[in-house]
Structures are given as C-alpha cells and as structure tokens.
Structure 1
C-alpha cells in the first residue's frame, strides 16, 4: 500500500510562496497538526551542524515548523544527541555552543535547544525491538520522554549508508553514545598495506587503541568504538571502511530507527529538505559542493516512503559538474552510487520496509 508524500518545489515569486510559507503548507498538507495534542512536549529532531559545516538546515526555516507546532498548541524544543566522534558536539556543553554559533538561538528559531542524551551521552532508556541484530536498543531519554516528534532532515550523501535522510536521522540521531557504538560495532576501520607508519592516526585516536607494530599502524578492534577519527586524518588514505560490513551496519541503523519511534504511537511527522545536497554528512567539519541542483521540500508520516521519494527525486536530476560526483551524471543515474560506488543505500530502505517502518511505495502530491 502506498503512502502519501507531499512535495513543494523551491520556485517563489512572492511572500506567499517563500520557503517558510511552503514549509507551513507542507505541515498542513501532511496533517502534522493532528499528531500534536494540547501541551505536547514536541521534539523537533534535527542536526545542528558540525563547526565548519554550512550545509545543515538553516535555522530560519526551522522557525516555520516551530510556529506551526505552537499554533497546534504543542510545546516545541529543538534536539539532537551527542556525537561518538570527538568533534564540536561530543558533549552537551560543546553541542550547545556549536548550535548557538550555527544560528540555533531562541531569538531565531523560537524554541529552546535540549541535548536529548544528557551532558555526556548517558541519558538513555532501553527500548525492546526484538529484531535481527538487537533485542533492545538504547535511545536518548528526552526523545523517549517527548510526547510527539517532528523529524527535520537535510537530505544528502553519506559514506557509510549512501545517503542520509529521515531514517538515519532517527537511527544515529536518536541513539545514545552506547547506542552509536552498537550500530558501528560491525563496521570498524581497516588499515591497508599503504600504511607508512607515520603515526598520524595514532595521535588522533581519542581512546589510544592504535599503535605501531613492525612499522605499520594496528587497531585494537575490541576496544575501538569506530569514531572514525583515523579515517579523516590519514595522509596516505591507508585507513578505510570495511565495505563488506556496511549492509549489516545499515540494518543495525534501521533497528535503532525503529526503536526511536516505537513508543510514539504514530505521533511522528517527517520533513526532508532537498537543498545543498552534498556528498557527505553534516557531521563533517566542511561542506563539499552539491552533487545536484536544489530540488524542494517533502513531508510525510512515513519515513520509508519519504526517503524513497527523496532518493528518486535526486536521481531524476542531472549531476553537477565540479562536484565529487564521478559517475551517473545523467538523469536516472544513481547519484549516491556515483559518489559512494561501493555503498548501496537502497538496502537501508528495503530493510526498513521489511521491519515495518513504512512502505517504499508512495504517492507524490505536489503542493
């Protein structure tokens, strides 16, 4: 059975159809107001952007969702969880500082910021899921405590799951630090023969689980939490992902996404923003050039249908020159495989449908 996905392009010739107005129309079209009961503490789940990144969802657009939530008599708060890697959002203090520097101040968005898993990522609640890889998942306490949730996702590429959209926003974005470790447990970095033993990766390892042996770097895999700091700093590109492990990694992500919304009883709405469609996650401390033109904004109560429609719309574009996109520039070509050739993000969509998160079949409704 197909799910409804509402779409608005980005053309605008006046105030009544600017981006904020379009967001409000999508909110109404998808009937998100029905998800919010009076006095609901409503989590608006988004990504505040890493320091140095500029492709994350703009705070002024988030304000439109806040206003609609307030008009629905909800009590909105903006939220995300701390990161596993040691960047500018590793604990709640740094995370709040980064959010404010990136523009997510109350005066701009109209809602307070709450880091959902606490000061050091240890505020979490177990959720029973009973799926292939996990019987139980560790979801941020304030995500569980929220009465309803709106999930705002910047749709873009991702090196480990092909693309990042609503499902990834739920999976990594709603997990505690330990939950992120569990998702990455099967997909730890590997070191190739290109290693020169320079020691750069060893100095970057926050847990000191890397060392030199016979002039090559080695990783104590039992202690590694897959923060992937070593991938980013290796000057020889000798540290890489274990691509064979990524299908299981995606399944683990889906099971965490399933757990993030299990207790919400359907009171979750999703918006995907197909703008600044970069090759990488907003967790990077930079933003590469977009791989396709800006497309529009989509809304649905079904995250699988929403991500599938977003994926399809990206692939209908002609790829942009002077971007990381190396293959499939033509209309219909898989743009995310064109960037991350060895990663098939469609596996994530298939497993999400299999576990009952939604349907890949959708009916696109233009507003």
Structure 2
C-alpha cells in the first residue's frame, strides 16, 4: 500500500500522463490537480474539500448515494454530516431509482433515508415534483437528458462519492454518482438503461457512453461551480444499491481524492486501484474490466471533458 501511494504522489504532469496512458498537452499549470489524503475522517474530508471549493457559491447541492436500506458498506455518517455542516446553504440531493426498490417512490425513498440515518439535514429528492431537460453537448446517444427538476434550483454542486464496484457499471465513481444519480427515476434513468422497448437492453459500451453523456449534461450545467470527491473506503465489488446483500469489501481502505475535474478524479482513483497487486485489489479490476467500466474514462476524453492527465498532490 505505502509503495504504490509513494509512486503516485508528487508525480510530474508528464509522469501522470504516462500512468494514465494519455499524451502531454500544454504547460503543467493546465493539468488538473487531484488532492489526496490517507485520512478517511471528517477532518480529512474537509481538508480535501477546502482545496477544491473556491467556486462553490450560493445554494449548494451535495450529491451523494444514500444507498438501499441497511447497506453494510455505506460511508460513515459523521463524514457526510461534517461536509454538509461545513458548506453554507447546502443540503443533500438524490433522485428516485429505476430498479425495483423502496426508493422507486419518494415515500419509500424517504423511509430509506431515515433507516440509513440521512435525516440529519434536508434531503431534496430532485424528481419528487417533476423533471427538466438539460442539454447534452456533443453526444452520440442524446441531445438532452431528463433530470430531477429541482437540479435547476441550485447554484453549485458538490459530488461526494463512495467509490466502489458496480454490477452494471463495473465501478461507481463521481461520473456514475451524477450520470445516474441526477437523472430522474422514470424518464432519465430509462433513457440511459433501456433500448428497443426493453427495460434495460443497452450493450456495456452503450451504457457507459449513455451514462457519461448524462454526467456531461450535469457538468456543463454547473460549469466551474461543481467539484468532485471520491472516498476509497469500504470498497466492495458491489454498489450501495445492492443493499444488505452487497459483498463485503475485500481490499484495504486507501484514502480520499478531490478535484475540480471529473475525469481527473475518476482517472486518479482508477489508477490507484490498478497500482495494487492483482491479488490485493479485492476483485475490483475484474469487475471493472468484465463490465467495460474503463469506457467511462475513454468516452469522457472523446467528449472533451479532459485528457486523463492530472497532478496528484498529497495533503498528508
């Protein structure tokens, strides 16, 4: 663990490009910074947030995945409580889900929030009262995406993500948190998952691309007023949407990463997984590759959301 973190920390931009498999561009000052700490605690989280929060203003949506009832791998509640308390005029936002779950309805969703302890602040279920279409620029699947209506009530968004595996996406990073998590439960999520009249139907690559286009709509909507945090703790091959049946984590906790660049933070997180010996990755690499999860990263590059380059800076 210490060896691979040392290899990643303090890299020059060129070295980070080589690690990510990209090509160099421009000056080092143009390369997105990804901040990292091994301190997975409220203090560590706030230390990361304060480095990436310069453009977070006004009414702030804190987007996180609150999970199915009694999920065993959810991030510690004190971290979410500390983050919301630290950000003026903020509250948690969610949307209802597409699959069979108590969270398919707003009423069931609110009961789940109580069960999982997320009743410590206001939680806005953004599609409770309707939907809104946000433009998708440059996509090949969509020209617009259906989102929870109240996303337009916010000036800024903080994307607070529990990084872990996922049965369909391979992994769930910041991209999935907003690409699926801001799309409304009945229209937007169906647009992303469904094809040819079926409930699901997309190929793995198509699903990754559709999810990425949805995330791009959110990023473009907020512009500079969006920032991203990935917490590498309790990393199961399953998502928190698996609820009580989620597999137990099979790899050690790593730390917290934060950036103002969506592609940079997800690329850096994936690079940390791939820097682990295969017998120490808890099955995440196989889960990612069997679901074509890396297509999330390559398609972000194709959509002009970045190059995959970053400079990793330790706050420890």
Question: What is the TM-score normalised by the length of structure 1?
Answer: 0.73
**Over aligned residues, Cα RMSD in angstroms?**
1.9
Unaligned runs of 5+ in 2: 1-24, 26-30
The aligned counterpart of 1:91 is 105
Q: Which has the higher contact order (CA 8 A, sep 6+)?
A: 2
- The CA distance in 2 between the partners of 1:359 and 1:95, in whole Å, is 37
The aligned counterpart of 1:153 is 161
1:253-292 paired onto structure 2 within 5 Å: 253-285=211-243, 286-292=245-251
- Contact 1:337-1:344 within 8 A present in 2 as well: no
Shift of the alpha carbon at 1:334? 9.8
The aligned counterpart of 2:252 is 293
1:170 is aligned to 2:178: yes
Shift of the alpha carbon at 1:280? 1.0
- The CA distance in 2 between the partners of 1:341 and 1:49, in whole Å, is 24
TM superposition outliers: structure 1 runs of 4+ over 4 Å: none
Which of 136, 145, 149 is matched with 1:129 structurally?
136
- Contact 1:167-1:307 within 8 A present in 2 as well: yes
1:319-330 paired onto structure 2 within 5 Å: 328-329=278-279
Deviates further, 335-344 or 156-165 = 335-344
The aligned counterpart of 1:232 is none
Higher helix share: 2
Shift of the alpha carbon at 1:289? 1.5
- The CA distance in 1 between the partners of 2:272 and 2:170, in whole Å, is 15
- Contact 2:288-2:294 within 8 A present in 1 as well: no
Shift of the alpha carbon at 1:340? 5.3
Deviates further, 267-276 or 340-349 = 340-349
Distance verdict in 2 for CA 1:295–1:342, change over 3 Å: same
1:306-325 paired onto structure 2 within 5 Å: 306-318=265-277
- Contact 2:236-2:250 within 8 A present in 1 as well: yes
Question: What is the TM-score normalised by the length of structure 2?
Answer: 0.84
- The CA distance in 2 between the partners of 1:341 and 1:356, in whole Å, is 23
The aligned counterpart of 1:3 is 32
- The CA distance in 2 between the partners of 1:55 and 1:356, in whole Å, is 34
- The CA distance in 1 between the partners of 2:143 and 2:178, in whole Å, is 18
Q: Residues 276-302 of structure 1, C-alpha deviation per residue, up to 9 Å, x if partnerless?
A: 000011111222121321000111111
Structure of greater Rg: 1
